[in-house]
Homo-oligomer: A and B are copies of this chain.
């Protein structure tokens, strides 16, 4: 790549970046916390404490007329008293003071404001009126508003968050999360499942389509998770999403599926809802991958990040017990995967390492191969995986561990990393069937695989098969569009 072309790309990128109005929300160089308080710890909900713990390197300006200093920082009476440029204001003062703060932000020249508090369009008539006041003032001053009723943004790449809740287990994963509820910041799915996140809350201004546009051009994001209760501007959303699904997989949890829930969702964030049938059609047309629960959203995000996309739906089922092998067929059929037939050469090679009475076939019962010693078990698993992945009739593997031993963990992780490198187009979806002790073991293996960037462990055979099936679907969508 020539030097001038590279420079052009850099200029273009920095133009794109600086152009998007959401950038100051995700990586502000300075932030004012209006209504800041000096309390710390649980139940203090201190955004400044949170930012410090998170290692934020930008400028933090507390604003509260009651205090001269908060956490060792000079505290200002109003935002207008801050003698520096402020890129973002987070307004955590009581709801009836918010319009006044927005006005002063406008006068100060602050163009980006987050309003975390509840009690606006999500609440009574007074709240609805206050939200309208905010919208009017924002328009007048050219301010973009995130919220109200939001935890705002989370950006581990810049150690920045507007959340007043403590955040834990946050990683710089290239998975972006867009939600209409703060619950996804603190409690989404199993283990950490995203990097950057934005909660649009009541979406009085910034909405899901804006966030989508931002994540499409964001190089830190390669998979996008969506939690949607309802969309006000359906056309804008469709345009944004149609562009996005071709570039990056979008996985969507649409809640408020029933009429009853839709009504409640409308009062939760004040947004309108399309019928579930319309949503389903929209997903099919635009290639959105639909998730049906918080856990599935988290699983699919990680599946699309960690696992390669298979070329087809022919699956080898390797199972620690015959009983779970049968379950493996059930879950394959349920999700449109095909329990493959092994090639003759595969069967013949497996026969050489099996007990004499065992006829190798799919699903393959691992137990007869591995019961003699940890060393035998490790060797058997390695040999079986290699044999099966070499089979032309195999597009992907479902690996269901059963009885297991701590000693096997490191070598098993090594084997998976190794075979994943060797067969970069054949995903291995792993689960360990149930039981508290296997949960702990599965977590250890999952952590190690995630650290190696080579996979993770699903909670059960069904979730593993479902995710594989969605990977197959997306490959098909891309090849057809």
Contacts and interface: CB of A to CB of B under 8 A. Distances in A.
Interface of A: 42-43, 45, 95, 118-119, 122-124, 126-127, 149, 165, 168-169, 179-184, 186-192, 227, 229, 255-258, 260-261, 264-265, 267-269, 293-295, 298, 320-327, 329-330, 333-334, 339, 355, 357-359, 361, 363, 365, 367-368, 371-374, 402-403, 405, 407, 432-439, 459-462
A187 B403 contact: yes
Nearest to A322: B268
Given A187-B402, A322-B122, A95 B182 contact: no
A95 B434 contact: no
Given A264-B326, A269-B322, 6 more contacts: A42-B374, A169-B436, A187-B403, A229-B326, A255-B326, A256-B330
Contact of A434 (B165, B264, B298, B407): B298
A380 to B, nearest CB: 13
Contacts of A229: 323, 326
Nearest to A432: B187
A429 to B, nearest CB: 16
A-B pairs, 5 with minimum CB distance: A181-B323, A261-B329, A183-B321, A258-B333, A119-B357
Given A123-B359, A124-B357, A295-B460, A434 B188 contact: yes
B371 A45 contact: yes
Contacts of A95: 357
B436 A293 contact: no
A8 to B, nearest CB: 43
Contact of A357 (B126, B181, B324, B403): B126
A182 B365 CA distance: 13
Contact of A295 (B188, B322, B407, B434): B434
B333 A257 contact: yes
Contacts of A367: 118
Contacts of A190: 434-436, 439
A327 B372 contact: no
B322 A181 contact: yes
A402 B359 CA distance: 49
A183 B359 CA distance: 20
16 contacts: A168-B437, A169-B435, A180-B323, A183-B321, A183-B324, A183-B402, A187-B433, A190-B435, A191-B436, A229-B326, A257-B333, A261-B327, A261-B333, A264-B361, A294-B433, A295-B460
Residue of A255, A334, A402 most packed against chain B (CB within 10 A): A255
Contacts of A339: 260
A359 B298 CA distance: 32
A329 B256 contact: yes
A277 to B, nearest CB: 15
A333 B119 contact: no
Contacts of A181: 321-324, 326
Contacts of A459: 295, 459
A253 to B, nearest CB: 9
A298 B187 CA distance: 24
Contacts of A333: 257-258, 260-261
A43 B373 contact: yes
Nearest to A460: B295
